[in-house]
Structure 1
Amino acid sequence: MPMSRDRQEEKRPRKRARVDSDDEDQQQQQRQKANGTPLRAGVNGSASNPNTPKKEPIRHWRVKAEYWDNTPTKEVADLDDVFYLSDPSATVYIRCKDTMFKIHERMFTCTEFFQECLDSHGPTSISNPHRMVAATVDELRAFFWALYATDSQLAEKITEFPHLQRVFRICSMTRKYPDLPRMIEWADAQVRSVAADNVFMDSCSSAALAEFTTFAILHEFPDELALIQKKWCERLQSKSAPSVPAIQVADEYPEDLKELRGIAYYLHIQDMMDRQTQFTESGATHLFADPKLNNGQVMRLLAGYWSLSALWERLRLKPAELPLGASCCDEAHAKCISIWERRWTSAAGWKRILGINTADALALLSCLQDQLSNDDDLKVINPDCRRAGLEEIRKLREKTKDGLGDHFAGVV
C-alpha cells in the first residue's frame, strides 16, 4: 500500500540530516533554479536571488537524537497560544508533537524546502495538518516569531536571558533547515553580540552560563565559547558565581572546558578549606563531600588537594632556578644563586605564607613573589638576576594556573 503524504514528509528531514555536504549543496542549487521568487525581506532572504552573496558550505551540526522524537501523545493537539492565528487568511495548519500552529502560507513557504513539503502534503486542515518532525515545539515557536518579527524587533538588543534562549532555538532551527541564509546570519550575529557583552554576561546566573556554554559547544561557536569560559572563570575567581555548577558542566565537556574545569575544582577546594578550621587526613573525604557532587567528583577534589599540596612541598624545598642576568657573569652568578636559594627557603617559612593552606598553590606563589620582591637581603644580588628570578616565579604561577586541570584528572 502506498505511504500517505504525511508519512512521506516525515521521512524528508531524516534524509536531509544524513546526506553529505556535496549532495546537500547540489540539491539546494537544484531547488534554487526551480524557484526564482525572492523570499520575504528581513531575516529570511532569498536563497535563489542572484544578488545574494555566495555562502560558505553548510556545516553539519551536532544535534541531540531526542530532537527527532516527535511522536504525539494526544489525539487532539493543543492550540498554540501565540501562533495559532485567528486571521482567516492564515490557512496552513502545522502540528509539532502535541501542539497545533496555524500561520500564513506566505510565511511557511519562505524556503524551497518548506514549499516542497507543503506541495507534497496538499491543503492542510486542523484534522489533516502538516507535521513537523525534526523541530521541537519551542524551536518552531521561536522560528515563527522570527518570521513575523518587525525590523525593530529584530534589531532590539538582548537584555534578558529568555530572549537569548529564543535565539538559541532559532539557531537550532536554521541548522536543521539550512535554507535560511539571512536568518542564520542574524541569529549567529545575535549570539556573538551577547557573548561579547560584559554587562549581560555578568547578569547571567550559573544555570544561564551552563546553557549558553552547552549551546556554544553543540552548535560550534568556538570564539564565543572562549569568551563565555573566560567570563565564567573571572566570576568564579571574584566569587560572584558558585563553583559547583561550573564543575558539573565542565565534567560533561572536559575537552572543551579544560580551563573552566581546573579553576572550578581548584576554587571549590579553597572554599571548602576556608570553611574548615581544622583539617586532618582522616577527615579529608568528609571535608570535600557535597550533596551536589557525585562520588567521582569528590574523589577528584581529594586527589587534587593532595596533588597541589605535593606541588607546594616540592617548590618549598627546591627553589626555582635563577636565570643568569644580562649584566652578570658566571663567577658572580654562583653567589647570586646561593643567596637566592637561601632567601627562598627563608621566605617559604615566613608566618604570612604558613597561614595559606598548602593546596592554594596560586596564592602561595603570589605571596612568595611579593615576599622576595621586598626582601632587603635579596637586593644585594645582581639587579638583573633578581628581576629574572622574580619573573621566573610569575611564569611558574601562570604555568601552574594553566595546568590546574591536570591535578584533577585521571580519577574515576
Structure 2
Amino acid sequence: MVAARGQRSTPYSMMNSECPIPLRRTLSYPGDDDRVIRVQNMRFKVNANILRAGSSAFKNIFKSQDSPVVLSGHTAAQFRAFLWAVYAHPLPTAKTLDIPRLCSIAEVSFKYGFDSLKRWSMDGIRTKVNAPNTPLRTAPSETFVRLIRLALLYRDADLSRSIQSKWLTRIHWHDLPPVPAILIADAYDLRHLLCHAYYVHLVDVSALIADGKRLMDDSLLSPTQTLHVFCGYHSLSALWRQLQETPPTFSAHPQCTSHARCQVVWAARWALETGRSWAFAPVDVLCRLLFMERHLEMDELVKSCMTEGCRREALDAIARKRGEVSDNLQHHFDL
C-alpha cells in the first residue's frame, strides 16, 4: 500500500481483530520475514528479522509459534509504543516523549530483553524524573506507581529514591492522595514512603477517628493497613500530649550565665504557643513542631529574655525533635 501524500508509511500495521480489514503492508527490508503478532484485540504486522536482531526472546517466540503470534503480559497500547521505538531510526531524544510512552517502551523492552531500548528508555525516564521542570510536578498517582515499579524492575535504587521523594513532596502538600502510595509501598516494602503516606492519610482522617466515624478510604486499605492507621493515631496523639507538657530539652550555651532563667522563659513561651497550634490536627506533630519553631523564633520575649546562644540551642532542639519524629514514624504506625 502506498502512503497518501503528506503521510508517512508506517513500519508496522494494526487492526482490530473483530474488524476484517486487511493488514497494511510493512516497510520493506532486505530478507523480510513478515509475521503477525496479536496482543489483546489488536494485530500487528511486523518484520520478524528486526525483532530477532534486538532480542533473543523474539527468536525463540518466532521459532515456537506460527503466525499469528499471541503475546500477553502487556497491553496493545504498550506494544504499539514499543514497536514505534523499534522502527524509529534514529531514535529521538527522550525530552520529546512523554513519561507514559517511555514507561511502555521500558516495560515491554524489559519483558523481551530488548537491551538497546531498555537503556534508551530508562535513560529518558531518569532525565525526565530528575529534570528541574520534571513532569512529576503535575503527574497523577498512577504515573508514580508505574515509575516505582519500573525502578524496582530495573533495580535502580537512585531512581526509586528520587521518585519517592518527589511523590512524598506532593503528598505532604496534599496535592496527591496518600492511599495509592500506601498500597504500592506496602506491596514492595518501601518503608520511608509507606510511613509518610500513612502519616498524611492519618492527618486527613484523624477527625473521623476522633468522632468514631467510618474512614473514607478504609475500603481501599486492608484490615491490617487500617490497624496501622489507628496505631499511628493513638501513638502520635500521646506524643503531642507529652510534648505539650515537656518541650524538647536543650543544653546551656557555653557563653550563657543564666541558663536557669533561659529554661523558665522557654518553658513559659512553649506552653503558650502549644495552645495556639490548634489549627493543625492533634496528630500532625510534624506541622505543629514546625509551627512552634517558626513562632518562637520570632517571639520578642524569647529574644529579650534568653541569651542568643540558648535561644538558638532551643530552636535547634525543636528542629532535631521534628527530624527525630520524621525518621521514626515506623514505630508510631507499628511497622
State how far apart, in whole Å, the 2-side matches of 1:402 and 1:261 are. Answer: 12
State how far apart, in whole Å, the 2-side matches of 1:216 and 1:160 are. Answer: 17
2:287 aligns to what?
363
Determine if the alignment matches structure 1 residue 382 to structure 2 residue 290: no
2:201 aligns to what?
268
Q: TM-score, normalised by structure 2?
A: 0.78
> Conserved in 1, the CA contact under 8 Å of 2:240 and 2:285?
yes
Does the residue aligned with 1:286 lie in a helix, a strand or coil? coil
Per-residue CA shift, 1:153-177, capped at 9, x if unaligned?
A: 532525534313322324414xx42
2:87 aligns to what?
148
> Conserved in 2, the CA contact under 8 Å of 1:96 and 1:136?
no
Distance 1:287 1:371, change over 3 A: same
Distance 1:296 1:191, change over 3 A: same
Determine if the alignment matches structure 1 residue 313 to structure 2 residue 256: no
CA RMSD across the alignment = 3.6
State how far apart, in whole Å, the 1-side matches of 2:222 and 2:155 are. Answer: 28
> Conserved in 2, the CA contact under 8 Å of 1:209 and 1:228?
yes
Report the AA paired with residue 269 of structure 2: R
Of the structure 1 ranges 262-271 and 79-88, higher mean CA displacement relative to structure 2 is found in: 79-88
1:234 aligns to what?
169
2:51 aligns to what?
108
Does the residue aligned with 2:280 lie in a helix, a strand or coil? coil
Does the residue aligned with 2:214 lie in a helix, a strand or coil? helix
Report the AA paired with residue 160 of structure 1: D
Structure 2: any 5+ residue segments left out of the alignment?
Answer: 1-16
Structure 1 segment 6-405 matched on structure 2, within 5 A: 85-86=25-26, 90-93=32-35, 95=37, 101-111=44-54, 113=56, 117=60, 121=63, 128-129=66-67, 136=74, 138=76, 141-151=80-90, 153-155=91-93, 157-173=95-111, 176-177=112-113, 180=115, 182-197=116-131, 198-254=133-189, 256=190, 258-273=191-206, 280=210, 283-284=211-212, 286-287=214-215, 290-328=218-256, 332-348=258-274, 350=275, 352-379=276-303, 380-405=305-330
How many residues are paired up? 313
Per-residue CA shift, 1:55-88, capped at 9, x if unaligned?
A: xxxxxxxxxxxxxxxxxxxxxx889999974557
Determine if the alignment matches structure 1 residue 407 to structure 2 residue 332: yes
Per-residue CA shift, 1:182-203, capped at 9, x if unaligned?
A: 4333122112112113441123
> Conserved in 1, the CA contact under 8 Å of 2:39 and 2:72?
no
Cα shift at 1:229: 0.9
State how far apart, in whole Å, the 2-side matches of 1:305 and 1:402 are. Answer: 17
Distance 1:211 1:190, change over 3 A: same
Report the AA paired with residue 177 of structure 1: G
User: Could you tell me the percent identity over the aligned residues?
Assistant: 24
State how far apart, in whole Å, the 2-side matches of 1:184 and 1:164 are. Answer: 10
Cα shift at 1:242: 1.5
> Conserved in 1, the CA contact under 8 Å of 2:106 and 2:117?
no
Where relative contact order (Cα < 8 A, 6+ residues apart) is larger, the structure is: 1
Does the residue aligned with 1:110 lie in a helix, a strand or coil? helix
Per-residue CA shift, 1:323-342, capped at 9, x if unaligned?
A: 2213225xx32333333334
Report the AA paired with residue 272 of structure 1: V
Q: Give 1 or 2 for the bigger CA radius of gyration.
A: 1
Per-residue CA shift, 1:211-235, capped at 9, x if unaligned?
A: 1112212221211111211111111
Distance 1:325 1:145, change over 3 A: same
Distance 1:144 1:303, change over 3 A: same
Does the residue aligned with 2:53 lie in a helix, a strand or coil? coil
State how far apart, in whole Å, the 2-side matches of 1:94 and 1:362 are. Answer: 58
Cα shift at 1:301: 1.5
Does the residue aligned with 2:318 lie in a helix, a strand or coil? helix
Q: TM-score, normalised by structure 1?
A: 0.65
Distance 1:396 1:103, change over 3 A: same
Does the residue aligned with 2:121 lie in a helix, a strand or coil? helix
> Conserved in 2, the CA contact under 8 Å of 1:96 and 1:133?
yes
Distance 1:92 1:343, change over 3 A: same
Report the AA paired with residue 195 of structure 2: G
State how far apart, in whole Å, the 2-side matches of 1:107 and 1:226 are. Answer: 36
